[in-house]
Amino acid sequence: MLRVVVMVSGGGTNLQAIIDGVASGTITNTVLAGVISNNKMVKSLERAKQAGIPAVSVSPGEYRDRESFNSALLEAVDAFSPDLVVLAGFLVKIPDQMVHKYAGRIINIHPSLIPSFCGVGFYGLKVHESALKRGVKITGATVHFVTEGMDEGPIISQKPVPVEEGDTPEALQKRVMEQAEWILLPKAIDDIANGRISLRGK
Ligand code: GRF
């Protein structure tokens, strides 16, 4: 049984897709051991509570410096003894110490077809604003393993999503979530939980 911890920062729709996937059996051999948020005032924590999943928040503002926060974040992750850490809209950079400790066992969902519109500064609506500004006709989402760099790890899966005439960033974000993110992330977890995907050499 794969023990999964999901790390969130916002609305938690990807978390909800994972919760629903486990409940419906589309994600098998998996237990959601915990949810960690960097912000105690988010809907994600409500979703965890509704699903009966232990949830904690570790906020940078509660620590005197980044190093103290990083240690507290790693402690919070360790406490759940995860086999897999899933970043589902987690907006804080994962400390290198945690990337090394959980090498090959952290995955992230990014709302574009990496290597487009990714890296520092590309998160949330900004990703879709950039895609619309560039005028791309196809965008999508990517699930990848997390390494020290931002959005640079080995790609696990991608799914294309059409950009439509008159799209606003919000409309495009919703389509990418519905048609790509909420499908790719549960599938990646199920593939990892059942040994169909792993990071070679880890
Ligand atoms: C999603 O668009 C995800 O791709 C990005 O942040 C957003 C999180 O949304 N990393 P939610 O909190 O899962 O609703």
Give the pLDDT band (50/70/90) at residue 200: confident
Residue 15 Cα to ligand 1 middle (Å): 9
Catalytic residue list: 110
Whether residue 3 has pLDDT greater than 90: yes
Whether residue 164 has pLDDT greater than 60: yes
The predicted structure's pLDDT at residue 201: 63
Nearest-atom index, ligand 1, CA of 111? 4
Query: Quick one: average pLDDT of 108-127?
Result: 97
The CA distance from 162 to 176, in Å, is: 9
What are the pLDDT digits (tens) for 51-104?
Answer: 999 999 999 999 999 999 999 999 999 999 999 999 999 999 999 999 999 999
